[in-house]
Structure 1
């Protein structure tokens, strides 16, 4: 059975162990004890979601989230902040950095499971939509090339038929069909302008 990979980032080892125990039945759990370690694990492995503490030494959760979102591998990974902070300004700042949700400490196991499951499902749906969009764009591009080729071939065929109908194949000179066509056009033009014309042949 496929299990998504969750990275838990917190400098408190007791807390990372607690999160791992809550989620281990449904997910593969990786642990990082600071922001630098989290960025290193991101480079080396496949991560589907990150649970990230805010209050950490050296590099706090905000800066870690910023670096994750600036990286090619981490740009689309959902980040959920773990924090004792519950001020609106703190949450808004986290969202502005690319976080998708907040879980406040002390944590509730059912809440942790529900939030993680929700954002894993949303990320999966987003990826499926992205793949579907890419496939549609590819189909449109391929069909555009086909239509362009068909139009070009039809245009060339029309030009060839027009040439064969109006030019002598041996002398390459205009034939009577072309003369009659241009004569008819000149007649219509003269009639429209209420004028006369002369033809010599």
Structure 2
């Protein structure tokens, strides 16, 4: 217990270790992975108090109060509905013990210190997160444009004089077409699974 107090006092408990894939089943975060839905861990940083688990679907943060407490709060941030931004990496200086990766999810900032010997692995995570940010931003733009196109088409149809045909049937067809357009756009431009991105940058 004294070692844990000393580590907290020195700030050493905040320096995370990157956990090998063979040990994923030994961490707390594994209990909260949706294995049944194909969720898989691709990168995991563990400190004395916290775990930062990056899966193909989300960041799962197991938030601990202190190194000597077993109390944990589990927070889940699905990539498709939580915006990643301000992703940076800070390498270690000559006398530093750690390097650092920083990023924001919505308005919440994460600053994760990692053993400086793991800098090459941390660079891989940095690249994966940057790519996720780029993809989600591009898809968000395309989804907005898709909605604008549908609105323009709808207004154009509404301005045309209907001379023949059943008005109710015409309205039904327009409504069904609009629904299918929106559904197809959401399926195409809302990416939930980033397995391919993580595989491209991270070797487990």
TM-score (norm 2): 0.30
Structure with greater contact order relative to length (CA < 8 Å, sep ≥ 6): 2
TM-score (norm 1): 0.31
Identify the structure with the greater strand proportion. Answer: 2
Identify the structure with the greater helix proportion. Answer: 1
Bigger radius of gyration: 1
